[in-house]
A and B are shown apart, each in its own frame.
Chain A
Amino acid sequence: ETGVTQTPRHLVMGMTNKKSLKCEQHLGHNAMYWYKQSAKKPLELMFVYNFKEQTENNSVPSRFSPECPNSSHLFLHLHTLQPEDSALYLCASSQERGGPDTQYFGPGTRLTVL
């Protein structure tokens, strides 16, 4: 247990569906991250929130929409996804973005887009 939980663990959706991924951290951290992990590729940073404010959006398509209502919760809203979006989506948290700190990861949501 890393103190970061994600739900659901597995998700299968059609290209016309709308779904949301949820992340919750119990570590008292102020920064939260969404990553995409595809097979044999480096982790791709998607979004960063620091003190509930979005500080980075790494050219992510608009079919991915993040939401951070407070420092403990992070959502990723999905709509009209493509099959190439199938991947493991990881949430992470750290004490503060830009600090010399370590990121702690959740177990991820395995997403399959049909």
Chain B
Amino acid sequence: GQNIDQPTEMTATEGAIVQINCTYQTSGFNGLFWYQQHAGEAPTFLSYNVLDGLEEKGRFSSFLSRSKGYSYLLLKELQMKDSASYLCAVRDSNYQLIWGAGTKLIIKP
């Protein structure tokens, strides 16, 4: 079966760095997405990786290793507004998105 694993919850301190991991087992691979979802709001697109390596976008970076079935989202200089759930999703060979259950990130002052 197809599976996406990510931690259920993480806690970090304002101003610090946090890394949210995602491992996947899917039927084929056509890209990996990270979305941010604040409580009661729509998931919003953060990043997309289809080739191995690091994609940097401001305070957020996303890394992909296709051979290991592994990605991480790195958040730097954490702010209170970064408290949210972070969803990892992989597009399989049929271009269907397979979703993880999300990681709830709690930022403490």
Contact = CB atoms under 8 A, between A and B. Distances in A.
Interface in A62-114: 90, 97-100, 102-108, 110
A102 B33 contact: yes
B95 A2 contact: no
A103 B44 contact: no
A99 B101 contact: no
A102 B43 contact: no
Contact of B4 (A40, A42, A105): A42
Contacts of B95: 97-99
Interface in B61-104: 87, 89, 95-102
Contacts, number: 46
Q: Per DSSP, are chain B's interface residues mostly helix, strand or loop, or mixed?
A: loop
Interface string B27-65: 000110101000011111100101000000000000000
B8 interface: yes
Contacts of A100: 30-31, 50
B41 A43 contact: no
Interface of B: 4, 8, 30-31, 33, 35, 40-45, 48, 50, 87, 89, 95-102
